[in-house]
Amino acid sequence: MAQVKVGIIMGSQSDWPTMKEAAEVLDELEVPYEARIVSAHRTPDRLWNYGKTAVERGLHVIIAGAGGAAHLPGMMASKTRVPVVGVPVQTKALSGVDSLYSILQMPRGFPVATMAIGGAGARNAGLMAAQMLAMNDPALAQRLDAWRAALSASIPEEPKDD
């Protein structure tokens, strides 16, 4: 079994439909990952343990998604030097702007690489994680190049009516 280097964590089961987009693109690129529910507020001990053991367990990047008072990515970044990619989950009340601001405005010293709100952000988080790993994985780099070329090739030159 290949070493799992990507952790996908989220604050709630309700975040999974969004965070699944990160998982799906990692599947497409054949990058192993683990997915866990880790809530900054509801399961703080789980957050603490996850961050404390992340390096020794061999994680290279953590994708962290949360909504509302989205403290999970920032708290994880404060607990481990494994890079954290943050995904603001879209909320009903404030459309995800609350999530975005909660994740984005980190104090100096503890960065979170913040993606766009919602599914596009989650998918790009998966791609970002893959690109980071590809710096030391030539086979993955080749798969990524092919994936990107296929995406470009799928874009038509001219628009058409529905």
- Site residues (vs ligand RP5, CB under 6 A): 11-12, 14-15, 39, 66-68, 89
Measuring CA to CA, which residue among 64, 118, 71, 112 is closest to residue 91? 118
The least CB distance from residue 57 to ligand RP5, in Å, is 22
Nearer to ligand RP5, 99 or 124 (CB): 99
Minimum distance of ligand RP5 from residue 105's CB (angstroms) = 17
Nearer of residues 14 and 136 to ligand RP5, judged by Cβ: 14
> Nearest distance from residue 46's CB to ligand RP5, in Å?
13
Cα separation values, 142 from 94, 130, 134, 151, Å: 40, 11, 8, 14
DSSP run (H or E) holding 144? helix 138-153
Residue whose token pair is 């780099």: 141
Closer residue to ligand RP5, CB minimum distance, 14 or 105: 14
Handedness of CA 104, 47, 30, 26 (dihedral sign): negative
